[in-house]
Amino acid sequence: MLVFKGISRGRFPFRTAWMTSAFLGAAAGLLHAASSPWALQAGLAVPTGGGERWVGSNPAPTLDLIKSFDLPSDDTLRFRLGYFGFSAKRNDPQNLSLPPASNSFPASTTNQLIGFSYGVEYLHLLTRNIYGLGGAGLAYLTASRSGTVDLTSASLGPTSFNYSAAKVVPYICLGTGYRFTQSLALEGRFQFSTMEGQVRPASFPNGFSPSPKANFPGLTTPTLSLGLVLGF
């Protein structure tokens, strides 16, 4: 009989195997597919805070793909892949670094804020039909600005320009929903993230030497959304 030195038969290998099997069995028991394991959520979102200052307060469509797992407590664990996109015409001044100094210039632009997110949410039943949720994840945010900036004060005249800033940031969310059926719900969510300010290269059609830099001011991006969740 082969015995490995330092390992007593009947203690380490068998106990470890039993504990591993018990852990995997418990994990499998905790997570099992919900009655409607997949769902689409379509709705409208409104930016607030810094997001509102960047793209206004007009609502924009959102679309999320959701994978759900039921827990023994009748609560639900969900994984969410989400998208939102805001766009607005703005007349905010643009701060540019034009050597030898930085200045603020009048501008007329289209601003955009686009986000892709992936995260996990915990749903807790408050009543038979009403639930609350909380979650966290990561979002890839892109803020861009394109249009015309008036450089007359720099003896250059009006010209078109564009720039963008992008970053992966953490987010948190809270929400509540009402289940009409096991596969249909109305859900409201609040999602919050922060995008730091950046100095970004700005693109001009006529070219400058050295290239001007655009000062992206940074954003807090709280959004409120309301949408229908359809399970399948």
Q: Which residues contact 40 (CB under 8 A, 6 or more apart)?
A: 63, 64, 65, 66, 229, 230, 232
Helix residue spans in 56-177 (DSSP H)? none
> What mean pLDDT do residues 195-224 have?
85
What is the pTM assigned to this prediction?
0.80
User: What's the pLDDT score for residue 103?
Assistant: 82
User: What's the pLDDT score for residue 209?
Assistant: 67
Buried b (16+ CB within 10 A) or exposed e, 144-155: bbebebbbeeee
Q: Are residues 34 and 69 in contact, defined by beta-carbon separation less than 8 angstroms?
A: yes
29 vs 18: CA distance, rounded Å: 16
pLDDT digits (tens, 9 = 90+) for 94-149: 888 876 667 888 999 999 999 999 999 999 999 999 999 999 999 999 999 999 99
User: What's the pLDDT score for residue 96?
Assistant: 87
Is the model more confident about 9 or about 205? 205
> What mean pLDDT do residues 157-170 have?
92
User: What's the pLDDT score for residue 205?
Assistant: 79
Is the model more confident about 24 or about 193? 193
pLDDT digits (tens, 9 = 90+) for 113-124: 999 999 999 999
pLDDT at residue 180 greater than cutoff 90: yes
pLDDT digits (tens, 9 = 90+) for 30-78: 555 566 699 999 999 999 988 998 999 999 999 999 999 999 888 999 9
Q: Are residues 75 and 54 in contact, defined by beta-carbon separation less than 8 angstroms?
A: no
Amino acid at position 127, single letter: T
Q: What is residue 29's DSSP assignment?
A: H
User: What's the pLDDT score for residue 34?
Assistant: 60
Q: Which residue has the tokens 């004060």?
A: 153
Query: Structure tokens of 21?
Result: 């099997």
Q: Walk me through the domains of the chain, giving residue ranges and CATH numbers.
A: 31-231 (2.40.160.20)
